Amino acid sequence: MFDFDPAGMGPEALERIGRRAEDSMRALAAAMENLTELSGEGEAAEGRVRAVVESDGTLRELRFDPRAMRLGSEELAQAATEAVRLAQRAVRERVEESVRGLAALPDDLEAAGRQLDEVREVFSAALAARRR
């Protein structure tokens, strides 16, 4: 339980709790926006094949250096597949790294929400006691 004296809980404290929740929500929204902007790159066949994928793994770009045309069709296909897989792995690692940085945000949001709920309960009880 959140220990405080309702009489001592002024608007400043409530505003501080509200600001903390708003700051956490803004940080979470910004982080989610940043996740959609991440991409990953992969290269194969000694850099002759290059792939770029979006944060959801969708292929954005596949480039072949002119030297890649010297490869046989099967080798070129394997190189393209490898470049895409490497790019997908790279973006997955970047997304996981970014998400690890967000790990504390839900706790902050939950804690702020619980504090607001507890403040509301205590104030409601205090108001009910005054009305008696």
Task: Flag whether pLDDT at 72 surpasses 70.
Answer: yes
DSSP 61: E
Is residue 3 in some structural domain? Answer: no
List, for residues 116-129, the tens digit of each pLDDT value: 677 667 666 666 66
Is residue 114 in some structural domain? Answer: yes
Total domains, the chain: 1
Cα distances (Å, whole numbers) of residue 62 to 50, 56, 66: 6, 16, 13
Is residue 25 in some structural domain? Answer: yes
Residue type, 107: D
List, for residues 107-118, the tens digit of each pLDDT value: 566 676 776 677
Question: How big is the chain, counted in residues?
Answer: 132
What CATH number does the domain containing 85 carry?
3.30.1310.10
